[in-house]
Amino acid sequence: MSMEIEILLKMLVFPGGLTLIALGLLYEYIDRKLMARFQNRIGPRFLQPLADAVKLLAKEEVVPQGVIPIFFVSLPILALAGALTAGLYVPMAGFAPAFSLPGDLIIVIFLLGLLTLSIGLAGANTADRFSILGATRTLTQLFSYEAPFLLALLCPAILADTWQIDMVHQSVLGRVWLALPLFIGFFVAVIGLMGKLELAPFDAPEAESEIVAGALTEYSGRGLALFRLGKNVELVVGLTLIAAFYLGGLANPLEFLLKTLGLLVVVAALQALFARLRIDQTVGMWWRIGALLALAQLLIVVILKGVIL
């Protein structure tokens, strides 16, 4: 009995569920605030992301004509659930992952991709042309960054000789930061995360000056809130994963905060620095530069491993 309660607690309170959502809101706030300060604006108040979420959750959800209602309602849930589940396998807040099994790195990457996939499907489900264009762009973009992102995360895993996140994490703890020797992989992973989250300059799928809100144009109320929470959670999970792999591991909560927030500052600065890429430019960039870089990095890792070990 106590075992089941423990599992439930892990899933719903810590490190999953509420903790993840709270962290997600906190990180959204920090991201928005940093962006605002970089752009010489004042930015949101501390509780603004929470207020946004509560407001959206409380609002009526309009199910537009021409959609398949079951998909329309369930896709946001799927997206958030995927992101939350992914959080159970990463060393959240510096503690050991709630669950760990061999090959869970692939599971996490799949779960993180699930959010994007849900957004794409949600857009394709509605009859709105902005949504359809946004969905096309979302899925196009998914195919461009997913492979390099995966390759970039595989590099530390290959070094550690395991595809289990916890084991990889243990192997890098206390060692020199992998971001230094494997800077290419680190770079690709960070940019890949930005692509995944459709942050500027990779926000062509939701470019407001062209296609309103992209795939989520028709979403309001609960569905929109769930998608946004899902993105926030994914931001936290992604940052944790990258920090755990590339920044010398997360030994304790303080280290977790410092390292992930440090990454967030970098991400926010990159967002403020560039103009939006067109979708063709995004795809071209990922396949021409991103994929090659990631492959080169992987090759270097494999060769080094063969030579040294």
Partner 1 sequence: MPGLQKEKFIVPIGPQHPALKEPAHFEFTVDGETVTSASVRFGYVHRGIEKGTENRNWAQAMYLLERICGICSHVHSTTFALGVEKLAKVPAPPRAQAIRQILLELERIHSHMLWVGVAAHEAGFETLFMYSWRDRETVMDILETFSGNRVNYSANVLGGVKYDLGPAQTDSIKRGLDYLEERLHYYMKIVNSDESFLRRTRGVGMMTTAQAEELGAIGPTARASNVARDLRVDSPYLLYEQFPVTIVLGSTGDLQTRFVVRIQELFESIRVIRELVNHIPGGDLTVRFPRRIPEGEVVMRTEAPRGGLFYFIKSGGGENPVRVKVRTPSLRNFMSVLVGSVGHQLADVPMILSGIDPCFSCNDRMIVVRREPGKETAS
Residue 3 tokens, joined: 């075992």
Cα–Cα separations (whole angstroms), residue 217 to 101, 165, 198, 212, 214 = 38, 36, 15, 7, 6
Q: Which secondary structure element, helix H or strand E, spans residue 290, and what is its range?
A: none
| Contact positions with partner 1 (CB under 8 A) in 208-247 | 208-212
When asked if residue 65 is in the footprint of partner 1 (CB under 8 A), the reply is no
How many of the other CB atoms lie within 10 Å of CB of 18? 12
Among 5, 70, 275, 308, binds partner 1 (CB under 8 A): 275
Q: Does 274 bind partner 1 (CB under 8 A)?
A: yes
Dihedrals φ, ψ of 96, to 5°? -65, 145
Residues in the interface with partner 1 (CB under 8 A) total: 29
For partner 1, the closer CB: 2 or 209: 209
Closer to partner 1 by CB, 25 or 199: give it: 199
The secondary structure of residue 289, as a DSSP letter, is I
Q: Pick the binder of partner 1 from 47, 265, 280, 292 (CB under 8 A).
A: 280
Region binding partner 1 by CB under 8 A among candidate stretches 19-27, 69-77, 163-171, 274-282: 274-282
Q: What is the torsional sign of CA 130, 132, 137, 141?
A: positive
Q: Exposed (0-12), middle (13-18) or buried (19+): which is 24, by Cβ within 10 Å?
A: buried
Q: Which of residues 110-149 bind partner 1 (CB under 8 A)?
A: 127, 129-130, 133
Q: Locate tokens 């690709």: which residue?
A: 188
Q: How far is the CB of 274 from partner 1 (least distance, A)?
A: 4
Q: Which residues bind partner 1 (CB under 8 A)?
A: 35, 38-41, 127, 129-130, 133, 200-201, 203-204, 207-212, 272-281
